Amino acid sequence: MCRCVFDLPTRQRELEKLRTESEAPDLWDDQAHAQSVMREVSRLEGLIATWGQLEQELSDLQGLIEMAADTGEHEQAALLADIERDVVRLERQFANLEFRLTLSGPYDQRNAVLSIHAGAGGTEAQDWAEMLLRMYLRWADAHGFGNEILFISSGDEAGIKSAEIHITGENVYGLLRSERGVHRLVRISPFDASGSRHTSFALVEVMPEAEKEEASVKIRPDDLRIDTYKAGGHGGQNVQKNDTAVRITHLPTGVVVTCQNERSQGRNRESAMVVLASRLLELEIERIERERAAIKGEHVEAGWGNQIRSYVVQPYKMVKDMRTGYETSDTNAVLDGDIDGFIQAYLRSQVGVGDGGVAVS
């Protein structure tokens, strides 16, 4: 078996500490914090119970192996067949559990807001941004995740300049945080009559959805400037006679969010506030990461120059993640939303998890 240590005693101590905190009489004075504590208690209880059970099964299996060594040839063959089936079953359970360990971050269980921005390159880059939008929407559909396009800025001739989508479901942010960064496309341009090969870039941002009354995200009405205007359709045409689209500017940070998907100004405003809170939460996360980076000496921004994945459609077919080395030649499947292999490879790399079983310690 491959080995990845799950430190059961440490997790048990964490759970005991949280249980003590959950019994404090003033816990619910801060509802957001209280809910966070209770969620973490529930998560750790489930995780510890599952790993404890598997640890016991491993111990039982070891006893069965020792028993087989002392039996006759006929009985030994039967026992070894049972042991082999149990090993296969436990390997599969361990593989699933070790991947769950990669989704244990403080925001991993939340919904996500995903933004796509075309890079330099005009129509080529804008077409590439729209291809990525389609890829993520198909990925969400394949997993049964809710998804809603909140905003699209159409390209001048084709594609999109930028888009923002809200994706909802279990562990959505934990899965999609692997997609943050610059995505590079190499292909023969369909917009170039000479058939030249072009390289295009697009930036993907992923933010956890902020929860109501989040302690780190305080939005005061006086800090907001809210503008309304007529919503535009894909291609730039006006699709509303009334001012239903909403643009909110957070004056202290300069963050601007826009929503034009709904026909109701009120609904667009609600969606824009969700995005604004998520962007402010992301700013707070980045601030914390920068502080940690000052100590660790490592932090990579999801910005230009930090390419995470290369998609080559022509002259050959290959999609390769530059961080993990994971690659596939099935570019059509990837662009149709089959990106789970890339997501899992990245998340496993962050915690040093292999592809086999896990030894509990």
pLDDT of res. 70 = 75
Give the pLDDT score at 267: 86
Structure tokens at 230: 């007529």
Going from N- to C-terminal start, the domains of the chain cover 8-101, 112-349
d(CA 110, CA 206): 12
pLDDT at residue 293, as a whole number: 62
Contacting residues for 215 by C-beta, under 8 A, at least 6 apart: 30, 32, 33
- pTM comes to 0.69
Question: Which CATH number applies to 112-349: 3.40.50.150, 3.30.300.30, 3.20.20.10, 3.30.70.1660?
Answer: 3.30.70.1660
Task: List residues bridging with 202 in a β-sheet.
Answer: 118, 183
Q: How far apart are the first and last CA of the chain?
A: 14
How far apart are alpha carbons 211 and 83 in whole angstroms? 47
Ranges of the chain whose pLDDT falls below 70:
1-7, 32, 96, 212-216, 231-243, 262-263, 292-305, 352-361
Task: Note the CATH number of domain 8-101.
Answer: 1.20.58.410
Q: DSSP string covering 106-128, please?
A: TTTTS-EEEEEEE-SSTHHHHHH
CA distance 278 to 320: 29
d(CA 84, CA 10): 31
In 3D space, the residue among 214, 248, 216 whose CA is nearest the CA of residue 229 turns out to be 248
Q: What is the pLDDT of residue 32?
A: 67
What is the pLDDT, as a whole number, of residue 294? Answer: 64
Give residue 275's identity as a one-letter amino acid code.
Answer: V
Question: Is 109:211 a contact under the CB 8 Å cutoff?
Answer: no
List Cα–Cα distances, 353 to 3, 217, 240, in angstroms: 8, 33, 51
Q: What is the DSSP string of 152-178?
A: EEE-SSSSEEEEEEEEESTTHHHHHGG
Whole-number Å distance between alpha carbons of 167 and 288: 24
* Cα–Cα dist 255/115, whole Å: 14
Joined together, the tokens standing for residue 164 give 């923002």
